[in-house]
Chain A
């Protein structure tokens, strides 16, 4: 890598914040105008935006942790899919939703361990390692899934007392099921952990310049393992969200590319949790509008509306909406001297 010697100097924080803040203000004004005109639909679309963005932000957080530590994780899709399946099966067998969420977390973590092992220990190409996880997940879930299983229900929303009474904000933000709340909390927690704690500094050092990190006594392998496994667990939570909170059942290949869209969300968010959350909300909104349009019935064939998130992803990763720089040492195995 040509610029691997430069450490991570992102743009100065002040300049970086102007555009997002401006966008947020514009978005807020638009939402208010729409709300005054048609409260019910606006509320429904925004609530749907939050729901649609949850698996994306969780997947993106997984990607951020892995890539900040220098491991490219293209297997998020597979981690989500297998976690979604096993969480669902646990719900079918035991009916215990919390145990099911735990199994989802665990599945994601184990697949994270597999990715870490192949890329750190075996020094296997990380893109291929992730692809194996994806294909393995499709194969295993396809083989073991049987149609017609029933569950004892899914996780229901918890209305936060007081907050959920606020007009517009209440139903959109404060009347959600627990994994959605956890996702929002995780965004804030990881933002602080990555940029304001020794752990975060070490993680970023390992992803930017592992040799330097090694020299000052940071255990590169340990940091990479830990981050990829924790990231995997978060992707597992995204899978659990799909079967336990959003849909309530499993279908073959139900992740439908969300793991890859999550990578675009990560890039769009410039490898920052808060930035990624903004990007996830944007993608969530695109999905929500798509559903709303289909619901209202338009002349546009639904396939064209269905393409929107994917085309948006291509535009984002092509850098047509602002360039961003990935961690310098990402994708390269580290060898001790």
Chain B
């Protein structure tokens, strides 16, 4: 057998791994264009408006970065759980709790120096998400309840909790307010900007690198990956795989919670039900599009953030319903996960890296 040089082999693998998401995006855009055509819209015009709305001016660019920031966190949350073989569909619920706790800390504490206040509210949001991630993690480890069902159910519970809080004890007391929402957070809790770049975006990138380091260069990361690949083997090798699963869900929940807090402190400046719906689910697309690699999550989040940022302009200029974004996103997710199709198309079945392994059964065995 002819030996390939390790460098060119590595490069080839990188290119194959890169080509799958790229082809997935192209296929999704083509099918999206066909759907647009059937509704009588010129897809080029729509996509043009989308692109302009995402990057066309400094303000648009800033909005894109704002939308990208929480997506990086929710993508990291889902990707991190994937590494431990867990499918955290509950990023949505963890994110909601993170968002409302950060809003509460943002409006109820007064007179703190800005840097400290921003940090406290962010950390509070992260901890709320972590605690909410602990529940499905512990249930999975100690009762065998599959995390997919428990996290989805906890999402609905979180919607009810946040609805109650923002329409009850934490409702905006302003006399003019009739809707369910909290009051605005203090100026000191708002995440500042450097030019058009929100500081939260920079923090998100730093945390992505940190998570990449934890997964690939630390003992904990090694144990998490081993548990994800085969929890029986991990237990056999002396790892406490149940505790590691719980810890992975806690960290995943923490990341999702920060995602919600960043949304509150960087964009909305209050908690209002419905303002961050879907962010957790977008996290699934981001994580899988980034091949569950923490660094791959960044460009994936940027793509989705650009679509969200540009959607308003597209709706206004090309008169297309914003929901086409959801359709394209679902198609991207389909093609990126059904990558067997794409690998078959580019005749590259080898070189599978960062493959997702998930447990499938409900676990009560």
Contacts and interface: CB of A to CB of B under 8 A. Distances in A.
Query: Interface range on chain A: under 10, 10 to 19, 20 to 34, or 35 or more?
Result: 35 or more
19 contacts: A1-B365, A122-B338, A124-B338, A125-B356, A125-B360, A127-B358, A128-B288, A132-B333, A135-B284, A301-B168, A303-B163, A306-B160, A310-B157, A314-B139, A314-B153, A317-B146, A326-B362, A330-B361, A331-B359
Contact of B361 (A72, A138, A142): A72
Contact of B157 (A131, A132, A307): A307
Nearest to B35: A143
Interface in B129-178: 139, 143-146, 148-150, 152-154, 156-157, 160-161, 163-164, 167-168
Contacts of A256: 156
A64 B273 CA distance: 35
A317 B139 CA distance: 9
Contacts of A242: none
A325 interface: yes
Interface stretch (A52-60, A210-218, A260-268): A260-268
Interface of B: 35, 87, 89, 139, 143-146, 148-150, 152-154, 156-157, 160-161, 163-164, 167-168, 232, 281, 284-285, 288, 321, 323-324, 326-331, 333-334, 337-338, 340-341, 356, 358-362, 364-365
A318 interface: yes
Contacts of A122: 338, 340-341
Nearest to A333: B360
Given A257-B156, A307-B157, A330-B360, A135 B143 contact: no
A150 B183 CA distance: 39
Contacts of B160: 303-304, 306-307, 310
Interface string A306-323: 110011011001111001
Given A74-B148, A317-B150, 4 more contacts: A1-B365, A127-B360, A135-B329, A310-B157
A123 interface: yes
A317 B145 contact: yes
A197 interface: no
A30 to B, nearest CB: 27
B330 A139 contact: yes
Contacts of B365: 1-3, 325-326
A306 B158 CA distance: 11
A48 interface: no
Contacts of A263: 149
Contacts, number: 143
Contact of A311 (B149, B153, B281, B362): B153
B152 A143 contact: no
Chain A contact residues, majority secondary structure: helix
A318 B139 contact: yes
A124 B161 CA distance: 35
Given A303-B163, A319-B145, A314 B340 contact: no
Contacts of A314: 139, 145, 149-150, 153-154
Given A124-B337, A303-B160, A307-B157, A143 B362 contact: no
B183 to A, nearest CB: 20
B152 A260 contact: yes
Given A122-B340, A310-B157, A136 B330 contact: yes
Given A267-B364, A318-B150, A331-B360, A138 B145 contact: no
A332 interface: yes
The 9 closest A-B pairs by CB, nearest first: A331-B360, A139-B326, A143-B323, A142-B323, A303-B164, A318-B145, A303-B160, A139-B327, A139-B330
A114 to B, nearest CB: 9
Contacts of B321: 143
A132 B337 contact: yes
Interface string A73-96: 010000000000000000000000
